[in-house]
């Protein structure tokens, strides 16, 4: 919808990880440097952690795109809620091996033979384990045992563990001592700061042909950062909805007030507690007083007055129940407006069909 209105060539804030949108913030640059260092070392484990939505998967996919297929054979393990033996099966399947009916001994033998065959072809296998915090200690031990495969002094497999902060805690436990000895580098990916958040938004917009339409004023960028706290996925969620709101309002300048409206809609849908909990997990808290913050008041207002002022954009304090009803009516009105727009677009086509039938 809004892509055509703002003359964009695609969706700038899609949630699916896309390596072509990779933004090299300071933290992402350092994390990528550790990944590349690990590739250069060619052995052991590299551990990368970060909060939910921090951009870990996008970064990993960006790394995979850079790998020379003549030198590397990469496999990615994304389903990690497995027991030890199923983890071995998943690794073998990720590398394209047949696992039907194979027991543990057969799986280990087949994997070792496969890694040796790659070595003979001057290729290196790389295993990337995403969401590694879900692995059980026994499953991690199986991965560690795979790192024992070697020819002479050369390791046959290198693994990257990518996960949420729980992975760091798990690796610090006493039972993970042997794994820690195999970790040659680790890095925790934190949130972006306010300047990087603005640069990130512009980076993604420019990737789809943005020409400053819509324009974001400074207050909008500050409001986005206050909500998202520098977490890419939260920024994408908010900005996607913000552009949709701009399209429905037919505006070409987005302000903190527009951001505040979208934030309230998101809170209404997923709950204030869910939003607050997500924000509390991030390193940087929002500013103490933002430009779009509502002024609390316990008083009730006349319903017609409330509706009139809400439609005119005035800031008014509502009783919680009254505010919830008004927001629900606004959501319904937005949905009807989208439907009417779609019907107007399709109406000429329907008329043509009727004419042809005559």
Residue 121 and residue 253 share a domain:
no
8 A C-beta contact, residue 212 and residue 265: no
DSSP string for 32-74: HHHHHHHHHHTSSEEEEEE-TTSSHHHHHHHHHHHS-TTTEEE
In a domain, 199, yes or no: yes
8 A C-beta contact, residue 186 and residue 46: yes
Q: Please give the helix or strand (H or E) that residue 344 lies within, else none.
A: helix 320-357
Separation of alpha carbons 85 and 82, rounded Å:
8
Residue-wise pLDDT tens digits, 26-78? 999 998 888 888 888 888 899 999 999 999 988 888 888 888 999 999 999 88
Separation of alpha carbons 14 and 225, rounded Å:
18
Q: Could you tell me the two tokens for 28?
A: 């992402």
In a domain, 325, yes or no: yes
Residue 144 and residue 280 share a domain:
no
Residue 240 and residue 129 share a domain:
no
Residue 228 and residue 169 share a domain:
no
- Structural domain total, the chain: 2
pLDDT at 263: 95
Residue 115 exposure: Cα atoms within 13 Å on the Cβ side:
23
- The enclosing domain of 39 has a CATH number of 3.40.50.300
Q: Could you tell me the two tokens for 301?
A: 């207002």
Which residue in this structure is represented by tokens 């939505």?
53
Residue-wise pLDDT tens digits, 183-217? 988 889 999 999 999 999 999 999 999 999 999 99
Domain end residue (candidates: 138, 173, 189):
189
In a domain, 323, yes or no: yes
Q: Which residues lie closer than 8 Å to 131 by C-beta, 6 or more apart?
A: 78, 80, 162, 163, 164
The reported pTM is: 0.70
Residue-wise pLDDT tens digits, 88-117? 999 999 999 988 888 889 999 999 999 999
In a domain, 114, yes or no: yes
Nearest-CA neighbor of 87 among 72, 108, 109? 108
List the domain range (segments joined by +) for residue 265. 194-342
Residue 99 and residue 185 share a domain:
yes
Which residue in this structure is represented by tokens 């054979």?
73
8 A C-beta contact, residue 324 and residue 269: no
Cis peptide upstream of residue 214 (ω within 30 degrees of 0): yes
* Alpha-helical runs (H) found in 160-290: 165-171, 177-182, 194-206, 218-228, 232-249, 256-270, 272-280
Residue 34 and residue 170 share a domain:
yes
In a domain, 170, yes or no: yes
Residue 198 and residue 174 share a domain:
no
Separation of alpha carbons 193 and 238, rounded Å:
17
In a domain, 1, yes or no: no
Domain end residue (candidates: 149, 174, 189):
189
Residue 182 and residue 198 share a domain:
no
Residue 198 and residue 184 share a domain:
no
In a domain, 14, yes or no: no
Strands 215-216 vs 253-254: parallel, antiparallel or unpaired: parallel
Lowest-confidence region among 48-57, 239-248, 250-259, 276-285: 276-285
Helix then strand then coil, in percent of the chain rounded to 5, is 55, 10, 30
pLDDT bracket for residue 322 (50, 70, 90)? very low
Residue 141 and residue 51 share a domain:
yes
Residue 233 and residue 144 share a domain:
no
Residue 108 and residue 152 share a domain:
yes
Q: Residue 211: is it exposed, middle or buried by C-beta count within 10 angstroms (0-12/13-18/19+)? A: exposed
> pLDDT higher for 296 or 151?
151
In a domain, 13, yes or no: no
């Amino acid at each position: 919808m809004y892509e055509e209105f703002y003359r964009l060539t695609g969706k700038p804030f899609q949630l699916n990880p896309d390596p072509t949108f990779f933004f090299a913030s300071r933290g992402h640059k350092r994390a990528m440097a550790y990944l590349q260092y690990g590739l250069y070392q060619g052995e052991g484990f590299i551990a990368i952690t970060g909060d939910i939505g921090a951009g870990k998967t996008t970064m990993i996919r960006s790394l995979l795109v850079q790998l020379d297929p003549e030198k590397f054979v990469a496999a990615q393990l994304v389903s990690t809620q497995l027991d030890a033996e199923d983890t071995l099966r998943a690794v073998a399947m990720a590398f394209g091996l047949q696992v039907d009916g194979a027991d543990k001994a057969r799986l280990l033998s087949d994997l070792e033979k496969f890694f040796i065959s790659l070595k003979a072809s001057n290729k290196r296998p790389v295993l990337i384990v995403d969401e590694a915090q879900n692995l059980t200690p026994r499953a991690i031990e199986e991965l560690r045992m795979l790192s024992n495969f070697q020819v002479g002094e050369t390791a046959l497999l290198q693994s990257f563990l990518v996960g949420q902060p729980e992975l760091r805690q798990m690796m610090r436990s006493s039972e993970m001592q042997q794994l820690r000895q195999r970790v040659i580098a680790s890095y925790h990916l934190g949130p972006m700061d306010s300047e990087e958040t603005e640069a990130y938004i512009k980076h993604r917009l420019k990737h789809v042909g943005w020409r400053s339409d819509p324009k974001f004023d400074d207050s909008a960028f500050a409001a986005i950062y206050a909500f998202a706290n520098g977490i890419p996925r939260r920024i994408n969620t908010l900005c996607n909805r913000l552009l949709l709101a701009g399209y429905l309002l037919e505006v070409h300048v987005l302000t903190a007030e527009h951001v505040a409206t979208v934030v309230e809609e998101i809170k209404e849908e997923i709950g204030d507690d869910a939003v607050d909990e997500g924000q509390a997990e991030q390193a940087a808290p929002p500013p103490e007083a933002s430009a779009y913050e509502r002024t609390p008041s316990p008083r009730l207002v006349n319903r017609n007055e409330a509706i009139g002022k809400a439609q005119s954009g005035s800031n008014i304090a509502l009783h919680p129940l009254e505010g919830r009803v008004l927001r629900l009516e606004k959501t319904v009105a937005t949905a009807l407006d989208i439907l009417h727009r779609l019907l107007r677009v399709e109406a000429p086509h329907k008329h043509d069909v009727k004419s042809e039938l005559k």
